[in-house]
Amino acid sequence: MRDDPEQNVYRHFYDRMIDAQAMHNLRRADCLIAISAFTKKMLVERLGCSAEKVQVVLNGVDHEIFKPVSVTEAFRRRYRLDPQYRYLLYVGSENPRKNLASLVRALVKVKARIPNIRLLKLGTPEYLGNFQRLKKQIHDLDLEDELVFIDSVPLEDLVMFYSLADVFLFPSLNEGFGLPPLEAMACAAPVLCSNAASLPEVVGDAAVMLDALDVQGWADAICETLGNQTLRQDLRAKGLRRAGHFTWEKTARETMAVYAQVGQVQG
């Protein structure tokens, strides 16, 4: 994706130079740990790394932190969250690979069918140009009331946002792993995500997966999920079970096993 002009987020010549040096150093490594099978595939295809020297160790989630919690009135007041609205949640940046433009277009269609919705976008803007284009798109589509921007929040509030969400949305085009859908599942939020890159490895059968660029498909799935309590409960239960398979303890054990294996070979 870094070679796609539409996805390019290099801000300076030195960004590209540092990236090229990093890729060169990866090729020289005796062993690489990839955070998903998709990432391993990219290392093999894009860098020409031997598949044998790339080991997959999936990320985890801290279940002591990310778990379902009760949404308090104080929390609702702090962020002005009116209970009359249905809340959609997105957590992340406005990096073009996150595909927020498609989600915004889908929101227009959802609004026509379910007027009392709000899409909460959590995350401090990282790419000013992309953020400004996103804001212009929202203005042009008359969605300034329906899309609410919230900067970085304390961890305990992030967990409460996940627990509040009627639906969590993640339309990304490219992810090396994708922690937000996993965190959302651990908090029992119903998850809709794209079927791109590593995301199927993360969500398994515990989320509704969609073509990232199918705007009508996203609108239909959002409306169906909001209108179907049984489906939401099913997704919540499946998400909790799926998230339970991902722990940082397991990640640490598997990482140490790779270190031990590399040490034996070099010894």
Q: What is the pLDDT along the chain (267 residues), one digit of tens a residue?
A: 445 555 555 555 556 677 667 676 777 888 999 999 999 999 999 888 899 999 999 999 999 999 999 999 999 999 999 999 999 999 999 999 999 999 999 999 999 999 999 999 999 988 888 899 999 999 999 999 999 999 989 999 999 999 999 999 999 999 999 999 999 999 999 999 999 999 999 999 999 999 999 999 999 999 999 999 999 999 999 999 999 999 999 999 999 999 998 877 665
pTM: 0.91
233, 231, 229: which is closest to 188 by C-alpha?
233
Query: How many Cα atoms within 13 Å fall on the side-chain side of residue 221?
Result: 25
Handedness of CA 46, 47, 53, 59 (dihedral sign): negative
Contacts with 166 (C-beta within 8 Å, 6 or more apart), sequence order:
86, 87, 88, 190, 225, 226, 232
DSSP single-letter state for residue 53: G
**Residue from 265, 259, 264, 266 nearest 33 by CA:** 259
Domain assignments of the chain as residue spans, ordered by start:
13-60+247-266, 73-243
| Fold for the domain defined by 73-243 | Rossmann fold (3.40.50)
